[in-house]
Amino acid sequence: MATIHANTQLKTGDTVNGLSGLKDCESGRGINLRLDGKAVVPEEWAAPCSPPTISGGNHKIVSLYYAEYDGYAGTPYLSKTFFEKYIFPNDETRVRVLQSIIPNKFSSIMNDWPHPGVRQNFDGIKSFRSELPNGKGYYIYRVVQSTTYLPKPSVAAWPPYIDSELIYDAASGRFKPACAQHDPHLPESLKNERRCLSLCDAEGNCVIIRRTERGIELWQEKYKQRTLIDPATGKVLGVEQDNGTAKLELTSLTAATLPADRQRTTIGVGETVTVLANQLVEWEIKGSQLGKEQKTATTLTFMASDQAGVVQVIAKTECEVKSISFSVLQPSGLRFIKTKEIHVHNVLDAGFLAQLYIQPAHVNFSKVVIREVDSPSYGGTGLFSMENGRMHGDYIKKHEYTSGWMKAISYSEIYGTLMEGEDVAYQVREEYCPDRIPKSEIHYSIPYEWRINGVDAIHQLPLVYQSCLIESTGRIIVKKGTEAVSFHYSDKGINEDILLYYYPRIPVFKIRC
């Protein structure tokens, strides 16, 4: 019987008593799986749960690092940590392990042979470097040692440079650690007995090992192959193609069809998302959501709440745990897109209609409603000096100093979520003397509020700034948000009739000199 590397493509008739070259997919910790239940223990260990004792007294704390450099300066393009701050049971083991890892090669750029160097009893750093085989750079093994005093004997831990051992227990039909209590490097997810394992091979391909009624099933993503192994003999009983149903996969789909990427994991408050699994799973959800999630054995649907943050959807099977995390964004502001300009001939006025879009534009705020809050003017000078403190809107009678709530009606990947209605930004002075127009200005800081439709909690958007500037030449400039319009009072009128939707009448010039 043989221990087979996890990258090996098995065939009927092969014998497998163990798998090497495995690793935990998340942590990268190396794993050996013994299907015959016979764990291979480190040197000087009597059994998997019988570690040697480290005597009291002085001992070396050792770290070993590796790096490759392209040339003879700069940062490494490849680096690896073999182990850090490890105390060996004795100095003979320390020397033997270091010599087994560091090649005993001398080159013109190296100060010493590595193997004699690691035998020296030193504190500090000792680096051993040599040219790469291609001659275009070099590699370095760096040994860092210091002396520590142990006041009393202690039990050795599983060496970090040796892969963790898992075994198949024929009595229970489960996979379990050879000795979890003495292996601090074993990932938490592998510390308990289980009927199924999901690991990775050296190339990162998924490898799933499952105990079924038929025997031990081994699925290799690299070959899209399912292998059936007799747990009693290790014989491969059969091989069949499996294109991926053994591997748990999650996908997500936003209810909003725009933006076009419906599998995006950055969403707006109030967005609804469905997560789908290709297997029967147990679901768990973490994070703020509206209402109770809806779920079946293969789907989970949730609506993000009005709070920014992260919603994590977790799916569990006997073999695997997978999750998708969604970043939830609140509205960050409004964007005004001018649609029509407004001016009455010979009147000191200017204005425009604009569509309102909620930002940011890369998520959909279809469940959000907004409203404008009335606000007083300030900074009025010249023709506007008597209008300081005047409210810019006319909301008090109907909505208690606010406009009505505006719903989202569509979405643009360029501008964002479009709200119903149009905003009018308009300023006018009917009475003035054309020969003596004082420079005048007035300003507004306009609050906007948002909430999710059907939810009472109200949130603030950043203030929108609106201003009007009248120049002594007779030009008037109105700005709101990022849009602006400018007219001279003598310019030809445009879209005057629009004013009748918002004001009792169209302004008329009245000379006042």
List pLDDT tens digits, range 280-333: 999 999 999 998 999 999 999 999 999 999 999 999 999 999 999 999 999 999
Q: Are residues 163 and 151 in the same domain?
A: no
Separation of alpha carbons 513 and 55, rounded Å: 105
CB atoms inside a 10 Å sphere around CB 386: 8
List, for residues 199-229, the tens digit of each pLDDT value.
999 999 999 999 999 999 999 999 999 999 9
The domain spanning residue 288 has which CATH number? 2.60.40.10
Separation of alpha carbons 58 and 151, rounded Å: 9
Q: Are residues 166 and 20 in the same domain?
A: yes
Strands 266-268 and 321-329: parallel
Separation of alpha carbons 250 and 326, rounded Å: 13
For the cut 80, the answer to whether the pLDDT of residue 434 exceeds it is yes
Q: Are residues 260 and 371 in the same domain?
A: no
Q: Are residues 206 and 92 in the same domain?
A: no
List, for residues 233-275, the tens digit of each pLDDT value.
999 999 999 877 789 999 999 999 999 999 999 999 999 999 9
Task: Please give the pLDDT value at position 205.
Answer: 95
Are 418 and 355 contacting, i.e. CB atoms less than 8 angstroms apart? Answer: yes
Which of 241, 271, 298 is the endpoint of a domain?
241
Separation of alpha carbons 497 and 362, rounded Å: 36
Q: Are residues 22 and 81 in the same domain?
A: no
Strands 30-34 and 164-169: parallel
Name the one residue in this structure whose structure tokens are 């469905």. Answer: 274
Q: Map residue 384 onto helix, strand or coil.
A: helix
Parent domain of 105: 53-155
Q: Are residues 24 and 172 in the same domain?
A: yes
Residue 153: half-sphere exposure toward Cβ, Cα within 13 Å: 8
Q: What is the pTM of this model?
A: 0.80
Tokens of 473: 């030449």
For the cut 50, the answer to whether the pLDDT of residue 1 exceeds it is no
Task: Please give the pLDDT value at position 245.
Answer: 76
For the cut 70, the answer to whether the pLDDT of residue 109 exceeds it is no
Work out the average pLDDT over 331-337: 98
CA 119 to chain centre: 46
Work out the average pLDDT over 26-38: 95
Q: Are residues 96 and 76 in the same domain?
A: yes
For the cut 70, the answer to whether the pLDDT of residue 378 exceeds it is yes
Work out the average pLDDT over 340-368: 98
List, for residues 119-158, the tens digit of each pLDDT value.
888 899 998 888 888 878 889 999 999 999 999 999 999 9
For the cut 90, the answer to whether the pLDDT of residue 105 exceeds it is no
Q: Are residues 459 and 359 in the same domain?
A: yes
Number of domains making up the chain:
4
Closest of 409, 375, 410 to residue 392, by C-alpha:
375
Residue 212: half-sphere exposure toward Cβ, Cα within 13 Å: 14
Which of 295, 329, 363 is the endpoint of a domain?
329
Name the one residue in this structure whose structure tokens are 């015959």. Answer: 36
Tokens of 118: 């690691």
Tokens of 381: 């000078």
Separation of alpha carbons 72 and 70, rounded Å: 7
Which of 187, 211, 241 is the endpoint of a domain?
241
Omega within 30 of 0 (cis) for the link into 360: yes
Range list of H helices, 317-392: none
DSSP codes, 432-485 = E-TT----EEEEEEE-EEEEETT----EEPPPEEEEEEE-TTSEEEEEETTEEE
Q: Are residues 139 and 18 in the same domain?
A: no
Residues listed for the chain = 513
Q: Are residues 300 and 407 in the same domain?
A: no
Q: Are residues 337 and 440 in the same domain?
A: yes
Residue 230 Cα distances to 19, 214, 482, 494, angstroms: 14, 8, 72, 87
Task: Please give the pLDDT value at position 513.
Answer: 80
Task: Please give the pLDDT value at position 482.
Answer: 93
Q: Are residues 351 and 480 in the same domain?
A: yes
pLDDT class of 71 with cuts at 50, 70, 90: confident
363-384 per-residue burial string, b: 16 or more CB within 10 A, e: under 16: bbbbbbbbbbbbbebeebebbb
For the cut 60, the answer to whether the pLDDT of residue 454 exceeds it is yes
